[in-house]
Structure 1
């Protein structure tokens, strides 16, 4: 590792700090980036220089550059009673004594937690949360550039009413997955809304429903660095139970899977970062609950306006939630979906700026319940009660180089086997 590259991590460390006695700082940094993520919080207690280095955002970037970053899949999921004790990320629950939850709650009301699967270390953990339980049906979104996981909206666990709350978990810098903070609240309480990270520091939300189950047209954008929300122009239609995703300018090719994944690639010549949009997929209106729309709407940050895109979800009896996930990385974009039909078609929005080519292909697994998502830019499927799991539990499958494989030899551990409501993946 050259001194110049070490300088990119932290310019002054090799000049004024002794990170490891007897070693040049550039070599010491080479050692420290290789320490597993679960020990980073403890490492900050070693010395001031270590704390400063590990709290610097460039440290996480260097871990990823040299291939030492760990990939986390964060899942908002109902807790399986008896509820395992909450711990910080990196402190495994496996093999520990399970404790009963004695807090009063409405009979039959589920409790939700934030579970973390470390795909690099093959471990499952649960993140401790102030107040013991996170909002029901909250949206989980990752902001890779700043190393944050956000939990947005959902229902209050006691009143079962939609909330405006935003909780931020710092996975990089000072936090290391052990500290939550309350972010600025949304302007409007909502749940079951579209949500997606667009670019390096903006999170867009739209639609969902209010405390009277009215489908919402309103939309907002959250600036992660400034910790502030701004209202956007409303959509043309109210959309409850809609799905959000980031879109690249011009052609994106989508491939819907039969009961399974959909992948998408942007056309040649596209450069991510020049222009991205926010797509709100399907949903239904207040008077047509459960009947999903075939169209969607795309927000263009440049023109500050919405445009309708037709025939993007021609499955009126199926919710796009848990069936569509998206990820934009480098010069390509991928999307996945779970549908039981085989067809091909293409569509574009009314401005002819955003275009989608769609094709269905077959899923490798069937089950009584399926949830599809994205793990580091690859399709991931959680399935319960299917032939692959023998009806015993939930399994996870991951698509790598066009092939599907089981993530574990056995089903997901007890306490982490319920299908999630929302998810996000992030490198740390």
Structure 2
């Protein structure tokens, strides 16, 4: 980080010490601290400051979950559940909820996708919760300002696509179009420039696939083509950022079930299925890697209560570690559709 940009941050202190003072502020105080002066605001909102905090170990890992909201006690549940984004702080154990997207105050778009990069949360696509029409909306949430920003729409409406983010860019691939045709096309969105760029197509169509970042590469796991609906492939395709090309990986997905939300990435980059890791999360499994622990949610059977568990990310045992049940507040005990780890 170029510290010459951060002179006289705190009167009477050398600039390196003043910078370290700002670095140690908890992310929840950044909104207030940014109002001290314009210089502080520029620093706290800069990409360079985020990476400085990350490099020095002062970022904060939280689980962001697309989670069903509880039904009002006085009324019976009707229709489809409403979803919001829940936030779980691993260190403090505190649960919270992100403010609704202004365009969708009554709940997130159905089956929307989420990903994270550079401490920001990206929500993309899904179905309009009122009309169920596929949408192209893209929103970015800044945890410092606690505000949503609507960005340039997706180039085309698609549902159940793979999504992953790294280095300030969001990658999407596969899914299906408005006519239910599986897709092989892929795009990348640059958050800073607010621009979309088309990528080379994958070697084949992949509907209901899952996207994960492995190292710095974007991996599209399993899925099926138009003619073989529901028959999930064992292969995956890896978009290598270094070559800007796709590489097919055979026998990457060892499960016959849908990979969405339940893909785990081992220490060597091998893929595993959280739904097959323990009988308690056999249905609706979702795993969010938080570093030394993974938060895993799911049910033992259809209609069973949704359970929340920790798995210690033991270097020797990997994902074979046992699940440890954790208690969560009632208002955060609903079904988890998907999730990601946001390093704030």
Aligned positions, number: 334
Per-residue deviation, residues 302-321 of structure 1 (Å, max 9, x unmatched): 665444333222433x1111
C-alpha distance in 2, partners of 1:400/1:247? 16
Q: Is the 8 A contact 1:153 1:164 kept in 2?
A: yes
In the other structure, the counterpart of 1:310 is 250
1:163–1:231 Cα change, 3 Å:
same
C-alpha distance in 1, partners of 2:308/2:159? 28
1:83-232 residue pairs with structure 2 within 5 A? 107-128=78-99, 129-130=101-102, 131-132=104-105, 133-144=107-118, 147-171=119-143, 176-198=144-166, 200-232=167-199
C-alpha distance in 2, partners of 1:286/1:394? 34
- The DSSP-based 3-state class of the residue aligned with 1:73 is strand
C-alpha distance in 1, partners of 2:243/2:3? 39
C-alpha distance in 1, partners of 2:228/2:270? 31
1:30–1:246 Cα change, 3 Å:
closer
The structure whose Rg is larger is 1
1:368–1:81 Cα change, 3 Å:
farther
In the other structure, the counterpart of 1:90 is none
Unaligned residue ranges in structure 1 (runs of 5+): 1-7, 83-97, 249-275, 341-362
Q: Is the 8 A contact 2:309 2:326 kept in 1?
A: no
In the other structure, the counterpart of 1:260 is none
1:28-107 residue pairs with structure 2 within 5 A? 28-82=18-72, 107=78
C-alpha distance in 1, partners of 2:335/2:145? 23
Deviation at 1:324, TM superposition (A): 0.5
1:205–1:53 Cα change, 3 Å:
closer
- The DSSP-based 3-state class of the residue aligned with 1:113 is strand
1:13–1:303 Cα change, 3 Å:
closer
C-alpha distance in 1, partners of 2:247/2:60? 38
- The DSSP-based 3-state class of the residue aligned with 1:11 is helix
Per-residue deviation, residues 19-39 of structure 1 (Å, max 9, x unmatched): 2x5544433333333332212
TM-score, normalized by length of structure 1? 0.68
C-alpha distance in 1, partners of 2:9/2:263? 48
In the other structure, the counterpart of 1:321 is 260
In the other structure, the counterpart of 1:424 is 340
**Considering only aligned residues, what root-mean-square deviation do their CA atoms show, in Å?**
3.2
Per-residue deviation, residues 40-83 of structure 1 (Å, max 9, x unmatched): 2112223334333323333333333333321121112222223x
C-alpha distance in 2, partners of 1:416/1:204? 29
Q: Is the 8 A contact 2:295 2:309 kept in 1?
A: yes
Deviation at 1:392, TM superposition (A): 6.1
- The DSSP-based 3-state class of the residue aligned with 1:208 is coil
TM-score, normalized by length of structure 2? 0.83
- The DSSP-based 3-state class of the residue aligned with 1:415 is helix
Q: Is the 8 A contact 2:65 2:87 kept in 1?
A: yes
Deviation at 1:241, TM superposition (A): 0.7
1:27–1:279 Cα change, 3 Å:
closer
1:366 counterpart = 2:280? yes
Per-residue deviation, residues 166-224 of structure 1 (Å, max 9, x unmatched): 111123xxxx15111111211111121111225x2332211112223222222112223
Q: Is the 8 A contact 1:149 1:169 kept in 2?
A: yes
1:277–1:177 Cα change, 3 Å:
same
Unaligned residue ranges in structure 2 (runs of 5+): none
